[in-house]
Amino acid sequence: MKEFELIKQFFSKQLVKRKDVVLGIGDDCAVLAPIENQNVVVTTDTLVAGVHFPLDTSPKAIGHKAVAVNLSDIAAMGAKPSWISLAITVPEVDEAWLEAFAEGVFELCEFYNVQLIGGDTTQGPLSITITAQGLTPKDSYLSRSGAKAGDWLYVTGDLGDAALALQQITGKVELEPQHISSIKAKLDFPKPRVLAGQTLREYASAAIDLSDGLIADLGHICQASNVGANIVLDAIPLSTIMRESLLIDDALSLALSGGDDYELLFTVSEDNKVGMETAMSHAGTPITCIGQLNTSRTISTTLNNKPTSIKANGFEHFSD
């Protein structure tokens, strides 16, 4: 199967046809007509086999996750996702694999009304790169740099489950059989907090999605905003499976540094705190206050109202 036959068979057939896409797949470039008085936000993420997902991950899960991690970045900006382009490198043309991969891509795209508008295909070691674009009202978006000392620190959902799944896959922990499929879904099929991000745009002072681990990603907010933070370890939201499967110290370590959560970490001023909590309740998104920002420019933790030291780092894209 040649390149353009592959594109036509697997990636040209999708249900989403947006009115702002003037020209989509099949030409040298896509042509878009963004809405007037809107900002366009753009992000790119690459997933490499054996680095960002285990080698035996199902193709549908790979397709889903490739889209989800990009939409999670869009969510962290408070934007509404609109379009993606896909560059995929595969060792060979395996039609069954590509069919399942495309199903994972399009299932999430259809849910969020996102159109695949182009990309590239090539032969080589398996990797997937997606560029996603989204829209926000003009000059209304979230970033990492708006946090202030005194702001409250929140997360959506539970933390650490995806890291726990990876530990189970690599044989570092044993889980009860009834827990394995549930916890593995957190790793393979993350759910980007798109609606939550758009809701938070009206209330949050800063936001980031949790891809590399809580400590690492909070560090990005602290650096960009020139603030410090204290995390209340007792408050970190852990799933029932996490609490039943690990000692509390091990569970907190995964929650702090495991990565792959794709939840939102965000900050809110005292004045916006009640309004934000009400809005997020109406949006149906679980949130937890896990600490507060300060002027220290360092990250500290407390447990049982006492200062405690932590040994936790996030995922490093480059290591020695």
Detail the residues annotated as belonging to a binding site for ATP.
119-120, 144, 211
Which residues are annotated binding-site positions?
A: 28, 43-45, 52, 73, 119-120, 144, 209, 211-212, 260, 315
Distances (CA, A) of 47 to 68, 125, 168, 317: 11, 11, 21, 11
* Pairing label, strands 38-48, 115-123: unpaired
Which residues are annotated binding-site positions for Mg(2+)?
A: 28, 43-45, 73, 120, 209, 212
Residue 244 backbone phi and psi in degrees, to 5: -80, -20
Distances (CA, A) of 256 to 55, 155, 213, 230, 251: 25, 12, 6, 13, 9
Which residue is listed with tokens 């990009």?
Answer: 70
Residue 69's SS3 state is helix
Which residues are annotated binding-site positions for substrate?
A: 52, 260, 315
Cα–Cα distance for residue pair 263/210, rounded to 1 Å: 5
Amino acid at 2: K
| Beta bridge mates, 306 | 303
- Give yes or no for a contact between 247 and 115, defined as CB atoms under 8 angstroms apart: no
Q: Which two tokens stand for residue 319?
A: 């290591």
Distances (CA, A) of 246 to 92, 214, 250: 40, 18, 6
Cα–Cα distance for residue pair 73/187, rounded to 1 Å: 17
CB atoms within 10 A of CB 315: 17
- Give yes or no for a contact between 266 and 142, defined as CB atoms under 8 angstroms apart: yes
